[in-house]
Amino acid sequence: MSKKPVLLVIAHGSRDPRHAATVHALVRRVRALRPDVRVETGFLDFNIPSVQGVLESLAAEGVRDVVALPLLLTRAFHAKADIPAVLRDAPPQLRIRQAEVLGPSPLLMAALERRLYEAGLTPADKSSTGVVLASAGSTDPEAIAVIAEIAREWRHTGWCAVRPAFASAGSPAGFPRTEDAVRELRELGCERVAVAPYVLAPGFLPDRIARGAAEADVLADVLGAAPEVARVLLERYEAARVPVLAAVGA
């Protein structure tokens, strides 16, 4: 049987050193869960190694099969344009399949709750707590719809209310900023308000979410290297690697 495809985790990159540190921590957790899978990390911008550099190194080693996994929560511009463009420029001897983005997933919702409980809430607080689902933001209609649907689904798990919010100034009208959603939940009568950042790693927009949470009672940490996030990565890898292997008769 052929070796398992290499898992290439593709992160956006950031000038904020916390971003790369969080990505590497998540990748270490994935490696610990699946020591039989080779896991590499490449960045689209700001950090090294670059995606192109990793792909060239893999090709030089004689690797043939790669699953490229976007470290993204929604299918927005990077997943639809940036990453496919980089992969098209990969060495021709590589057989690459782009995995689906991480969200939506029940595991990610479990990770959001994990972070809220780590920040001080308990399951008994759910019915009296309003939650702001604070995402980085997007102008992509598909990504916007996904965030709104996650908020609706999460509300049905027992929270007093759940409101989506976007941190990016370029997000469309109709989605409040974090601070606006916090005030809305106060006015709704929720006993306490918590902000759950639906982002993977620290950086400029997560810092904006944190500033917007100044009037909230609880601010959860980013998803980061939560074990549920690592499991989603491996689910996406497994779903993508089967067609790769089938294509080569493995």
The winner for highest mean pLDDT among 11-25, 78-92, 233-247 is: 11-25
**In 3-state terms, the chain is what percent helix, strand and coil (to 5)?**
45, 20, 35
Q: At what angle do helices 204-212 and 178-188 cross, to 10 degrees?
A: 30
* C-alpha pair distances (Å), 146 with each of 42, 105, 137, 163, 204: 26, 11, 11, 13, 22
Q: Which two tokens stand for residue 107?
A: 């595991």
pTM for the model: 0.92
Token representation of residue 161: 């209310």
pLDDT computed for residue 248 by the predictor: 44
31-52 pLDDT tens trace: 999 999 999 999 999 999 999 9
| CA distance between the termini of the chain | 6
Question: What is the rounded CA–CA span in Å between residue 68 and residue 117?
Answer: 32
pLDDT in tens, 89-120: 999 999 999 999 999 999 999 999 999 999 99
Q: Pairing mode, if any, of strands 95-98 and 129-135? A: unpaired
- In this prediction, residue 249 has a pLDDT band, given cuts at 50, 70 and 90, of very low
What would the two tokens of residue 146 be?
């996904």
Cβ–Cβ < 8 Å for 95, 65: yes
- Quick check: 173 pLDDT over 90? no
CB neighbour class for 13 (10 Å; exposed up to 12, middle 13-18, buried from 19): buried
pLDDT at 17 over 50: yes
Task: Give dist(CA 149, CA 34) in Å, integer.
Answer: 31
The dihedral over CA atoms of 55, 56, 59, 60, expressed in degrees to the nearest 10, equals -150
